[in-house]
Structures are given as structure tokens and as C-alpha cells.
Amino acid sequence: MTAAPQTYDLKGLNCPLPVLKARKRLAGMPRGDRLWLETTDPLAVIDIPAFCNEHGHLLVETEATPAGHRFLVERG
């Protein structure tokens, strides 16, 4: 069983930094591990799902937060 998802705080960063930082962080994780990405960039609702689709990661969950959005990504 994999560990509980970690949270990666990407709040305050604008496109393309949330995706670039997420890609680097996920690259260092084992397949199947999950990571919450927390963002305030309004474009993240487009960029994060596209990034997951293009790089073989699974977007498990998306939720709105008072400051922006959270994305639960499973490393593919």
C-alpha cells in the first residue's frame, strides 16, 4: 500500500510554474504514489489536467478551495 498523499503548495505561482514544479516533484516519486497540488493560478484548472493527460498521470480528484484549487494526482 502506498503512503498517504503529500501536499505540494504551489499557491502564488503563475503559469507555467505550477506544472513545471509538479512535473519535477512527480518525477521523483514512485509510480502509484499520490500528490495533492494546491494552486491559486486560475489557469491551473486547464493546465494540470492537460499535464496529467500528456504525461500519463491520473487526475484522481479536483476540488475548489477558497484560494484556488486542489488536484490529487497519481503518478503514472
Question: Which positions are annotated as active-site residues?
Answer: 15
Question: For residue 66, is the peptide bond before it cis, meaning its omega torsion is within 30 degrees of 0?
Answer: no
**E strands of the chain, at which residues?**
6-9, 34-39, 58-64, 69-74
Q: Please, which residues have CB within 8 angstroms of residue 12's CB and are 6 or more apart in sequence?
A: 40
